Amino acid sequence: MPRDILILGGGPAGLSTALHLAHLAPELKPRILVLEKAHYPRHKLCAGALVSDAEVILQGLGLDVCEVPHVDAAEAHLGFAGKGLIVALTGTHALRMIRRDEFDAWLANKTLAAGIDIRQGVTVLNVQPQPDRVTVLTDAGAFEAAVVVGADGSNGVTRRCVLPSSKTHTARVLEVLVPSLRAGPGATTTSRVVVEDPAVLRASERGERSNLRAEEGIPRPQITPGHDAHADNIAYLDFFPVPFRIAGYTWDFPTQVRGQPMRCWGIYDANLFGNHPRPRLTDLLADEMRDQGLALDEAHIQGHPIRWFSPSSSYAVARVILVGDAAGADGIFGEGISIALGYGRIAAEAVRDAMARGDYSFRDYGRRILTSPLGQALTIRSSITHLLYRLRWAWLQKLFWRVFKPVVLGVSLVFVLNWARRMK
Ligand SMILES: Cc1cc2nc3c(=O)[nH]c(=O)nc-3n(C[C@H](O)[C@H](O)[C@H](O)COP(=O)(O)OP(=O)(O)OC[C@H]3O[C@@H](n4cnc5c(N)ncnc54)[C@H](O)[C@@H]3O)c2cc1C
């Protein structure tokens, strides 16, 4: 059957677009096809921390994420060198951790149950918009559609084809899973080994090494020992790497893999200081883990970039719109699941209106994003990313996380989080 609406990529952004379309315009369901290169359940490198906005968007679709295996973090501790802000919400969790293979497979099943077709194992190779249609070339042949939604993530082919020269901010992210039982000092850990994109990791590490070689004698970071031992049901985010020109933080989250309690460790760098010599991300992560009695085995680290949102970016051309990481995730934390789900709502409304009017220019898609509560939160987050990570002095970071914490908490709750309840 010829399809009018092709959704390229079946992660949270693509599946949320499909599910919202099923709600907003059920008559369009038979005309929608999702193309996904993998088969569910498929690996996706991600710490899987859901903020409450993700749950609100899912509830709006009549979905209960409790159906997916999860671990709740009662508190989130954000700070500098072990001290700072404690986020604890009355009567509910601060963060909910899912595994992406399970979460995305669940969402795909909900999409199929809603009557929307997903073709798995189809890789999109090229997207060619024309005045009267879009041609999508794949390894399973060519598809034609009136409208294409690019939901193929940070490395996606859609943006590269339709907006090849658009400016991008790309964060570097490394992650490792370790068993939750704390090993003794000096012990090595066993981790699940799934390398998603070793080339990305190798390339970023190569870049850092060559920078370091260019400026010999960069001191390795010294981490003050003696942090409090991490508790099982708390998520930790530590911004100690900022003085080293790493625009980000290390994390240590509780999680589970096939029912086994695990910890997910990682380091995020919004990559604002790419032209400066910086320590290796792995060294910083290893130091932080060592502080908790864990030895980081570099062979087990996985890496993937995250494209983060800029309000001056482009999100559409005629007949093609972008959602999720393809449009841009959060720059402060690299948080993108709730955001991908939120983009789905905006995209579904834009596609429904385009189909109803027969106007496929999507001239107003950028405005729809920027004026939405999600777009407003992303715009503020983009400004905070540039500000927070330029406060490169340890004393300023301490001031920010330890002294100004009521202000930081207030701004976060009003401007950074809780946007989903305001989505109409
Ligand atoms: C290490 C790491 C940790 C993270 N931790 C968190 C976290 O704790 N919380 C959080 O909210 N966010 C986190 N993120 C960000 C989050 O993973 C992304 O923002 C989110 O996955 C974006 O969803 P998406 O649907 O836009 O893209 P994706 O989830 O990347 O989905 C894209 C889909 O498109 C498919 N695809 C790609 N190319 C093609 C093609 N050519 N043809 C067909 N299909 C294709 C892929 O297989 C995939 O299914 C993390 C990211 C990383 C890298």
Distance 44 CA to ligand 1 centre (A): 6
- Residue 226: pLDDT above 60? no
Confidence of residue 181 (pLDDT cuts 50, 70, 90): low
Distance 112 CA to ligand 1 centre (A): 20
| 156 close to ligand 1 (CB < 6 Angstrom) | yes
C-alpha 154/C-alpha 270 separation (Å) is 13
| Percent of residues, the chain, with pLDDT higher than 90 | 80
| 63 close to ligand 1 (CB < 6 Angstrom) | no
| 270 close to ligand 1 (CB < 6 Angstrom) | no
Distance 156 CA to ligand 1 centre (A): 10
Q: Which of 46, 68, 101 best tests ligand 1's pocket when mutated (most atoms within 8 Å of CB)? A: 46
- Residue 204: pLDDT above 80? no
pLDDT attached to residue 421: 95
pLDDT attached to residue 297: 82
- Rounded to two decimals, the pTM is 0.90
Overall average pLDDT of the 393-401 stretch: 95
- Residue 228: pLDDT above 80? no
- Residue 248: pLDDT above 90? yes
- Residue 202: pLDDT above 70? no
Distance 19 CA to ligand 1 centre (A): 17
pLDDT attached to residue 424: 72
pLDDT attached to residue 188: 33
- Report how far apart, in Å, the C-alpha atoms of 238 and of each of 2, 198, 246 are: 50, 25, 12
- Residue 413: pLDDT above 80? yes
User: Token pair for residue 160?
Assistant: 């590269």
pLDDT attached to residue 211: 33
pLDDT attached to residue 172: 97
Least confident window among 181-195, 230-244, 295-309, 377-391: 181-195
| 127 close to ligand 1 (CB < 6 Angstrom) | no
- Residue 194: pLDDT above 50? no
Query: Which secondary-structure segment (H or E) carries 261?
Result: strand 260-269
CA 239 to chain centre: 18
Distance 400 CA to ligand 1 centre (A): 30
| Percent of residues, the chain, with pLDDT higher than 70 | 88
Tell me the H-state helices in 4-68.
Answer: 12-24, 52-60
| 334 close to ligand 1 (CB < 6 Angstrom) | yes
Query: Which secondary-structure segment (H or E) carries 308?
Result: strand 302-308
pLDDT attached to residue 191: 30
C-alpha 164/C-alpha 154 separation (Å) is 14
Confidence of residue 214 (pLDDT cuts 50, 70, 90): very low
- Report how far apart, in Å, the C-alpha atoms of 143 and of each of 138, 163, 236, 356 are: 8, 20, 45, 22
Distance 48 CA to ligand 1 centre (A): 10
pLDDT attached to residue 2: 62
pLDDT attached to residue 44: 97
CA angle, 198 then 204 then 209, to 5°? 120
Torsion of CA 121, 124, 130, 131, to 10 degrees: 50
In this predicted model, what pLDDT tens digit does every residue of 2-56 receive, in sequence order?
679 999 999 999 999 999 999 999 999 999 999 999 999 999 999 999 999 999 9
Nearest atom in ligand 1 to the alpha carbon of residue 336 is 19
Distance 280 CA to ligand 1 centre (A): 24
pLDDT attached to residue 227: 53
In this predicted model, what pLDDT tens digit does every residue of 60-104 receive, in sequence order?
999 999 999 999 999 999 999 999 999 998 899 999 999 999 999
Give the chain's mean pLDDT. Answer: 89
Q: Which of 154, 264, 325, 369 best tests ligand 1's pocket when mutated (most atoms within 8 Å of CB)? A: 325
pLDDT attached to residue 51: 97
Q: Classify residue 239 by burial, with Cβ atoms within 10 Å: 0-12, 13-18, 19+.
A: buried
pLDDT attached to residue 168: 81
